[in-house]
Amino acid sequence: MVSISGSKKLKRQMAPQFWGINRKNKRFVITVRPGPHKKEFSIPTAVFLRDTLKIVNTLREAKAAIYDGKVKIDGVVRKSLHQAIGLMDVVELKNVSDIYRLVPTNGKILKPVIINESEKTKKIVRVTSKTTIQNGKMQIGFHDGRSIISDTQVNVGDSCLIQIPDQKILKVLKLEKDAQVLVTRGVNLGKIGKLETIEEGTFILPKRILLSLEERKIEIPSDIIMVIGKEEPVIQVK
């Protein structure tokens, strides 16, 4: 039988800090398998239940809940302990009233925030690629690994408010002046600011954004921000 690529475990000392695990308890912890999000920016489902939310006490209890189909990610039941949960993913748990969205906040790359039930079918995704295919259709790729075929006019760097799990684009959030953006990595992780100007990239420098953040202005690479609205965020991110 062919084995899926990637190791199933990781030394605890090498695990990202935002997982919230006890590093001196045991030597290894399960890890993220190849999937929608990069390993360094996501949490495996079992670790999310046991160490982040702390709604189960052991890996055995996490396995029982996951294999029983009690975990939904973006509206789809996931039965893998290693399923990657990442930026803007919506997590529902059977028999648990709270619904969670993972966002950067308080200096952490990912932290679950409780959202209203009315928002569980909405998600913001960042456009990372677009390709013209047969019959002039456009295939759009997003930060969470999904891709759709659509006639919607978007550019790389824009965001889309989509309906999950059917992936219908509800609104395009343009990367443009006065847009509200969320910083997803770096020292300003989790902060929301207003886009002032866009500096096009050169052979050496990447595309950069001048951002008005609180009472100061900073210049950061465009690939570490996500547009979340115009005057205010279109969904709850705090």
User: How does pLDDT run across 161-195, given as a tens digit for each residue?
Assistant: 999 999 999 999 999 999 999 999 988 999 999 99
Question: What is the pLDDT, as a whole number, of residue 1?
Answer: 45
Residue 66: strand, helix, or coil: helix
d(CA 75, CA 92): 8
Position 144 pLDDT exceeds 80: yes
Strands 159-163 and 168-173: antiparallel
49 neighbors 66 (Cβ within 8 angstroms): yes
pLDDT digits (tens, 9 = 90+) for 94-119: 999 999 999 998 778 999 999 999 99
What's the whole-number average pLDDT of the chain?
89
Q: Please give the angle made by the CA atoms of 188, 229 and 209, to the nearest 5 degrees.
A: 45
The neighbouring-strand residues paired with 213 are 216
d(CA 28, CA 10): 5
* Top CATH class, 9-119: alpha beta
pLDDT digits (tens, 9 = 90+) for 42-99: 999 999 999 999 999 999 999 999 999 999 999 999 999 999 999 999 999 999 999 9
DSSP-derived secondary structure letter, 52: I
d(CA 165, CA 9): 29
CATH superfamily of the domain spanning 122-173: Ribosomal protein S4, central domain (2.40.50.740)
Position 137 pLDDT exceeds 90: no
59 neighbors 46 (Cβ within 8 angstroms): yes
Position 2 pLDDT exceeds 50: no
Q: Please give the angle made by the CA atoms of 25, 31 and 33, to the nearest 5 degrees.
A: 170
Question: What is the pLDDT, as a whole number, of residue 171?
Answer: 95
Reported pTM: 0.90
pLDDT band at 34, cuts 50/70/90?
confident
Position 204 pLDDT exceeds 60: yes
How far CA 9 is from CA of 13, 65, 71, in Å, comes to: 12, 20, 21
